[in-house]
Structure 1
Amino acid sequence: MIGAGNSQPQRHYNKKCTKPFILAVIVVILLGILSLFTGVYDIRGQVDGMDMFFITRVPRTAALMLTGAAMSMSGLVMQLITQNRLVEPTTTGTIEWSGLGLLFVYLFFPAPTLVLRMTGAIVFSFIGTMIFFLFLRRVKLRSSLIVPIIGMMLGAVISAFSTFIGLTFQMTQNIESWFVGSFAAVQIGRYEYLWLIIIVTVLIFICADKLTLAGLGEDVATSLGVNYNKIIILGTGLISFAVGIVTAVIGNLPFLGLIVPNIVSMYRGDNLRSNLPWVCVLGMGVITLCDIISRTIIMPFEVPVSLILGTVGSIVFIVILLRQRRSR
């Protein structure tokens, strides 16, 4: 269970602006500045350098920050309401359902706008996540490993179905960018909807206490006067909204929602309201660092950031499994 081993008092973490948090913010700001000046195009030696700086570099860095916060928060909320540290959009099939939503949008609208793509991804993310929760309710064995296995099996089925639909209607090329999450195409006019993630952040912070109670289980939440089902639907809706936007604009970003919440919970416990600022800041830092690596590792070419995230996330996933085995 997610609360295991974190029974220590949380009073030490009530203060948000501690020295470590301020230091983390400074590090993320420095990474953001480094991101602004990382790239093949010489913005200081070209006549249109400053124009390119504001057309591509600034939007890309802003997209990195917003996306990092969105995926990290989604993982945190999902782990809380499922009471499992190995759960996040990648291990529940939510990402695959988003891709299926994009495919159906392209199927019915040959040249869909970004709003249509976002709508399809959000709706299918919500449907898929709710199906995942329905599966969980029927599973009696709720070990930490069984839950993500169910999610990944469900995601594999949806991914296979998406591939079949794409090949049948010759539409795979329309969503091929989704399969490889990258910020290479981000520029002015192609990322602005990511700012809606700020609304999701505010709503999660407002509902933090209720979501925390829902994480204690249906019986405990109900006894404390919380409508468990409504909170689960609300949490699922917020997750789907954030993941759908990121999927439509950026693509598939694996394991970010697994890495960051686990690192934060490892040192700070499981209080959502207290951990949310840390998760947002650390998520921004992790994805910005991975993106800088993806841009520099084989310059002048660029590796998709999803490749870096997938590699790091897989290692973290294995480490978490080994820690849980050792604790038992």
Structure 2
Amino acid sequence: MENIRLGGGVLLLVLLAVTSLFVGVIDVTLQNLVDTTSRPQALQTLAESRIPRTLALVLAGSSLAVAGVIMQMLARNRFVEPSTAGTVEAASLGMLLMLLVFPGAPVVVKMLVAALFALVGTALFLRLVRRIPPYSPLLVPLTGIMLGAVIGSLTAFIAYRTNLLQSLGAWRNGDFSLVIAGRYELLWLTFVLAVAAYFAADRFTIAGLGGDVSRNLGLDYDKAMAIGLAIVAAVSAIVVTTVGSIPFLGLVVPNLVSLAIGDNLRRGLPWVALTGALLVLGCDIVGRIIVHPYEIPVGTVFGVLGGAIFLFLLLRRSSRVS
């Protein structure tokens, strides 16, 4: 039964992906593809813009959702993700410094530096979390938001002083309008990282029980934490450097999947990736339709949707506690 439902989800993803190929400023229709006169331009639009954009949406959505569930396991808290833990802000700071110091560096080098900054920011967040009493779970995301605000303020100040505020705004708001062939391929690395996370799912589940319990069960806790941090930092850096950040995605998707099928990470990880891709694809299509021929960045659309779901989860938890 679960395989049938998963197959239905994949079919829905395919339908949304096909829809995404035919939505945009330039008209691409089946008639254009059949007509010999308009076929070359239609095929070029598909190859250069629509297919790369759709693939980027699927890769970014699924990988950010996977990074979010790993972050929640490592922090042992349901209300954290890269955008509420200072990870995205730290990656943006790394990108900004690279633009200032080595503006001509290859994109891969900039991505590696951003990943290093994201890793440091995430490690700092986890270190702060360890000082929070276990009976105050809502303080964990608040701590991450405050840490991100501090790093973001520093980044904004540097960008303001160096006239790079426009570039900073592009990284902070997920926008796929500029994705074309040759400018999204780094996102395939996030697919590799998501697959690695699936094979390490059992380790992350045990690590989520805490250091003492993990070591008693024979797990190398420090190694598992290092692998998890590396995956989260790399995914965040790659997505930020390619299309920008998508707030709340890594927070709401794991919670929705957990409500539906439980907390088994290995079982739930395919659902997390699938749900993340579906939501990002859907929000991008909505953003392209409601103000056509203009478009609203997917980060803005999902920020509204994700914020509403986040409030629902908070109120739901508060009502259960009371």
Smaller-chain TM-score bracket: over 0.9
Contact 1:122/1:245, CA 8 A, preserved across alignment: yes
- 8 Å contact from structure 2 (residues 70, 204) kept in 1: yes
State the distance in 2 between where 1:201 and 1:251 align: 18
Deviations 1:139-180 (A, max 9, x none): 235522100000000000000000111122222233331122
Identity %: 39
The answer to whether the 8 Å contact 1:98/1:125 transfers is: yes
Matched with 2:25 is 40
**Any stretches of 5+ residues in structure 2 without a counterpart?**
33-37
Letter of the 1:25 counterpart: V
- 1:21 match: 6
Equivalent pair of 2:132/2:139 in contact (CA under 8 Å):
no
Say whether the 8 Å CA contact 1:101–1:124 is kept in structure 2.
yes
Equivalent position to 2:307, from 301, 309, 314: 314
Q: Contact 2:156 / 2:168 at 8 angstroms: preserved in 1?
A: no
| Among candidates 264, 270, 294, match of residue 263 of structure 2 | 270
User: Quick one: structure 1 residues 201 and 130, their matched pair in 2 at CA, closer, same or farther if it must change by over 3 Å?
Assistant: same
What one-letter code is carried by the residue in structure 2 that aligns with 1:320? L
Deviations 1:275-327 (CA, angstroms, capped at 9, x unpaired): 11111111110000000001011001010111111101110110011111111
Q: CA deviation at 1:218?
A: 1.5
Q: 1:183 aligns with which of 171, 176, 193?
A: 176
Output the CA distance in 1 between the equivalents of 2:87 and 2:185: 23
Check 1:248–1:152 CA distance in 2 against 1; reply closer, same or farther (3 A cut).
Answer: same
Q: Say whether 1:70 aligns with 2:59.
A: no
Equivalent position to 1:89, from 59, 82, 86: 82
CA–CA distance in structure 1, aligned partners of residues 86 and 61 of structure 2: 19
Compute the displacement of 1:270 (Å).
Answer: 1.2
3-state SS in 1 of match to 2:105: coil
**Residue 207 of structure 2 corresponds to residue 214 of structure 1:** yes
SS at match of 2:85: coil
Q: Look up the match of 2:95.
A: 102
Please report how far the alpha carbon of residue 117 of structure 1 lies from its aligned counterpart in structure 2 after TM superposition. Answer: 2.3
- Measure, in 1, the Cα distance between the counterparts of 2:135 and 2:198: 28
- Could you tell me which residue of structure 2 aligns to residue 3 of structure 1? none
For residues 90 and 181 of structure 2, what CA distance do their matches in structure 1 show?
Answer: 27
Distance in 1 between residues matched to 2:47 and 2:290, nearest whole Å: 24
1:215 & 1:110 partners in 2: Cα distance?
A: 39
SS in 1 for 2:83: coil
Check conservation: 2:85, 2:122, Cα contact below 8 A.
yes
**For residues 256 and 325 of structure 1, what CA distance do their matches in structure 2 show?**
21
Shift of 1:222: 1.2
CA contact (8 A) 2:94 2:114 kept: yes
Distance 1:142 1:50 in 2: 57
Name the counterpart of 2:15.
Answer: 30
Q: Is the 8 A contact 2:183 2:242 kept in 1?
A: yes
Q: Assess if the C-alpha contact under 8 Å between 1:104 and 1:120 holds in 2.
A: no
TM-score by length of 1: 0.92
Q: Are the aligned partners of 1:106 and 1:174 in contact in 2 as well (CA < 8 Å)?
A: no
Instruction: Give the match's secondary structure for 2:79.
Output: coil
- Between the aligned partners of 2:128 and 2:106, the Cα distance in structure 1 is 33
Structure 1 residues 260-269 or 166-175, which shifts more?
Answer: 166-175
Structure having the larger proportion of residues in helix: 2
2-structure distance, mates of 1:28, 1:142: 39
Q: Distance in 1 between matches of 2:169 and 2:79?
A: 27
Q: Distance in 1 between matches of 2:262 and 2:173?
A: 33
* Alignment check: 8 A CA contact 2:67 2:81 kept: yes
Question: Which amino acid counterpart does residue 199 of structure 2 have in structure 1?
Answer: I
Query: Separation in 1 of the partners of 2:318 and 2:167?
Result: 43
**Shift of residue 97, structure 1, vs aligned partner:** 0.7
User: Which of 51, 56, 65 is equivalent to 2:49?
Assistant: 56
Deviation, 1:137, is 1.7
CA distance in 2, matches of 1:207, 1:227: 12
Specify the code of the residue in structure 2 equivalent to 1:131.
L
User: In 2, distance between residues paired with 1:264 and 1:117?
Assistant: 33
Aligned residues: 313
Give the letter for the 1:102 counterpart.
Answer: M
Show the counterpart of 1:247. 240
Equivalent residue, structure 2, for 1:285: 278
Q: 1:171 aligns with which of 161, 164, 179?
A: 164
Q: CA–CA distance in 2 between the matches of 1:235 and 1:268?
A: 23
Aligned-pair Cα RMSD in Å? 1.4
Q: Is 1:135 matched with 2:120?
A: no
**Distance in structure 2 (CA, Å) of the matches to 1:164 and 1:274:** 44
